[in-house]
Structure 1
Amino acid sequence: MVPSGQLSPATCPDLSEVGLLDLGDLAPEPGWRRPVLLDADLLILVTGGHGTAELDFRALPCRPGTLLRARPGQVLRCSPGLDATVVRWHGEALHGLDVDADAVPTHHQLAGEDEDAVINEVTQLMVDVRRHRGDPAARPLLRHQLAVLLLRLGLLPAKAGPEADGAHRAEVATFRRLCREIERGYQHTRRVEDYAARLGCSVRTLTRACLAVTGRSAKQVVDERVALQASRLLAATDEPVARIGRRLGFPEPTNFGRFFTREVGVSPGAFRAARAEPPPRIVRPRPPAEPTTGIGRA
């Protein structure tokens, strides 16, 4: 298993570099008392402990061999006691390389040959980052090692899903186009009509695609993205609630409060207060003691 707790942070001094750090180096405060708002792409390989990682408020079980893929802008908080090796990079590190980092699963429990291969590659990347830290001549090596690791992870067995016919594939493609457009525009508009105009299709087409993929309307998909961003900022920053609302297109704090309460179920203040509570520590029960046989250990 990849050793943990032995590296000082190898951060990314510029956007083309690859870095390695320990999981605890990500925590904004001791004990993960609050989530951290990520500013880079991460691969997290759990090396010790049992617990959970909350990624965008979704609790994911973790134990040795668990792999997590996190993206810039997401919020992360982990149970105390988890150890992990973290590979960190910015998108520019993969510029010009034929690799789709989004093909890596968000949460996967490695096992068997897959686990051995990933551990070997992460270990080699760790060795090379430590040996060549700060050497511009080593950047192509580290970039290609990262690309190989991501390509391997993208080939992990996918969870079985329903077969998609031609019509459904078209709706999935439309939904993905909408999601990309929402990422560019959610701070400025929540009107589905605006997204339909940008994509050159009708509101009905967007709604049909969203219903087919998610079971929710296009308007709900847009509002959920705005609510997610609000939740991230409330949980991981000290930015005033009114300012967060203005950033997301709500000039009046009362309108933002009503929107957030409708989408999330609690007020912005109550949500922030709840996320300030420390995460639970997962304690595994000790196995029963083995009977004494009178045979000493070698």
Structure 2
Amino acid sequence: MVPSGHLATALPDAAVGSVEIDTITLCDLAPASGWRRPVLLDRELIMLATSGHGFAEVDFRALPCRPGTLLRVRPGQVLRCTPPQLDATVVRWHPATLHGLDVDADDGPTWVQLAGEDEDAVINEVSQLTVDSRRHGDVPAARSLLRHQLTVLLLRLSMLPTGARRAARPEEATFRRLCREVELDYQRTRRVEDYADRLGCSVRTLTRACLAATGRSAKQVVDERVALQASRLLAATDQPIAWIGRQLGFSEPTNFGRFFTREVGVSPGAFRAAREQPGPRPVVRPRPPADAATDTWRA
């Protein structure tokens, strides 16, 4: 058994793009400029804090971290941490890595404070994966080995206790179907009518499902997703504001500016100007408590 807090760490691969699964340190994950601004992730990752204390901002939500804290962050989300006070081991993988394996890619928490036997077990899984990726990265059989080790880790995380699970409600399935459709097409349309037609139900049905699941209307849920993506791009890229607006379906920059200001509370320019300030910035709308299992937008 590997002692708690003593994880072996692998060096980042020189050809990261060709590596399906790799392990690095939190400092290796930071860009050359450090964590002056959030980083837009193109791979999924698990971050296991090994020493120090600090915060990890995931989509502008500050999550406390200390030894034993585990975070799971999805491709497309933005991440910023606070080293050197905080250090962690990071396991990264490409979205297609889990295809064909018996694991639900969406199952398990996105933030959890490990303790006791759960902490020991997860640390052992991460440690072995780290050692094997470092020692056997060039061996053909290593690809299958690492994929199965990652599967075991994710299955173990899916069985962690995350508090009382609420009973499934009839509206929950409708809400989840809407979220999947919005994720596919939010850049093209913000009309609830379009999603209702696609799902074969009425706007009233979608609104009732969203109100039951989140306390917000279907239109608010769709607009929240668009505003979240705008916030990610404003904070983590240097793309012009007008370009970001066009990517999200706004033909005129003024329309995008009014939309963003209404949703977030500040203008796109002011939001971008504040991106290098420590601490979370305004979030689109008040969200439910940070229970990873119920987080709407984890894409």
**TM-score in same-fold range (> 0.5):** yes
Q: Deviations over 1:175-232 (max 9, x none)?
A: 0000000000000000000001111111011000000000000000000000000000
Calculate the aligned-residue CA RMSD, in Å: 1.6
Q: Which residue of 2 aligns with 1:52?
A: 55
C-alpha displacement of 1:264: 0.1
Report the CA distance between 1:63 and its aligned residue. Answer: 0.2
Q: Which is worse superposed, 20-29 or 265-274?
A: 20-29
Larger Rg: 1
Q: Is the CA contact (8 Å cut-off) linking 1:4 and 1:83 kept in structure 2? A: no
Aligned-partner residue type, residue 28 of structure 1: P
5+ residue gaps in structure 2? 281-299
2:94 equivalent to 1:90: yes
Which whole-Å CA distance do the structure 1 matches of 2:75 and 2:37 have between them? 17
Q: Structure 1 counterpart of 2:41, which letter? A: L
For 2:30, the aligned partner's letter is A
Q: Distance in 1 between matches of 2:250 and 2:153?
A: 42
Q: Mapping of 1:99-248 within 5 angstroms?
A: 99-164=103-168, 168=169, 170-248=170-248
Amino acid of the residue matched to residue 206 of structure 2? Answer: L
Contact 1:36 1:76 in 2 (8 A): yes
**Deviation of 1:6 (Å):** 4.9
TM-score by length of 1: 0.88
Distance 1:6 1:155, change over 3 A: closer
Q: Secondary structure at the match of 2:18?
A: coil
Corresponding residue pairs, total: 275
Q: Distance in 2 between matches of 1:202 and 1:195?
A: 9
Corresponding residue number in structure 2 for 1:270: 270
CA distance in 1 between counterparts of 2:17 and 2:120 reads: 30
- Percent identity, aligned pairs only? 74
Residue type matched to 1:223 in 2?
D
SS of the aligned residue for 2:134 comes to helix
1:56-111: per-residue Cα shift (whole Å, max 9, x none)? 01110000000000000000001122100000001221111110131120100000
- Is 2:77 the partner of 1:66? no
Paired with 2:8 and 2:273, the residues of 1 have a C-alpha distance of 31
Once the 2 structures are TM-superposed, how far is the Cα of residue 9 of structure 1 from its aligned partner?
1.0
Change (3 A) 1:68 1:74: same
TM-score computed with the length of structure 2 as normaliser: 0.88
